[in-house]
Amino acid sequence: MVNFKITPRKIRFGLVSSISTAIDFTILLVVTGLFHLPLIGGNFISTSTSFIFSFFASKKFAFKTPDHHIKNEALKFIIVTLSGIWLLQPALMWLLEPVIRDFGITGVLVIIIAKLIASLATFTWNYLFYTRLVFNKKK
């Protein structure tokens, strides 16, 4: 069961996720807009960059876990996060892109809408697994 109570940890996670998402979106728009990379290739580059920021910010700021668990946390973080950003998110973007275009939306707006929806799904995925598996202080 998900606890919907707003806690300082959830606020910190939301802040880290917001900054990580801003990094992700900015890089995605630059590499697809300026360098004309395909959506999925651009997403791979942008998510990889934000992934690195996210681990250290989540560990140190959002969840404040001690460093003696870093190897175990890093391995679990890699599995959870990469599953979300390299499997779940691209699959959703791939499925959403034609649907969004069917509404007559074109250009960069398609990328932004698909990425936003997929990012919200990934945000939920990450929080659920981070709190239960990766940065669980009850271990």
Residues whose CB falls within 8 Å of the CB of residue 120, separated by 6 or more in sequence, listed in order: none
Helix, strand counts (H, E) of the chain: 5, 0
- Which has the closest alpha carbon to 87: 50, 53, 40, 29? 40
- Residue 73 near residue 134, CB atoms below 8 Å: yes
pTM reported for the whole predicted model: 0.76
Q: What percent of the chain has pLDDT over 90?
A: 63
Q: How far apart are CA 96 and CA 117, in angstroms?
A: 9
Tens digits of residue pLDDT in 56-105: 999 899 998 888 778 888 999 999 999 998 899 999 999 999 999 999 99
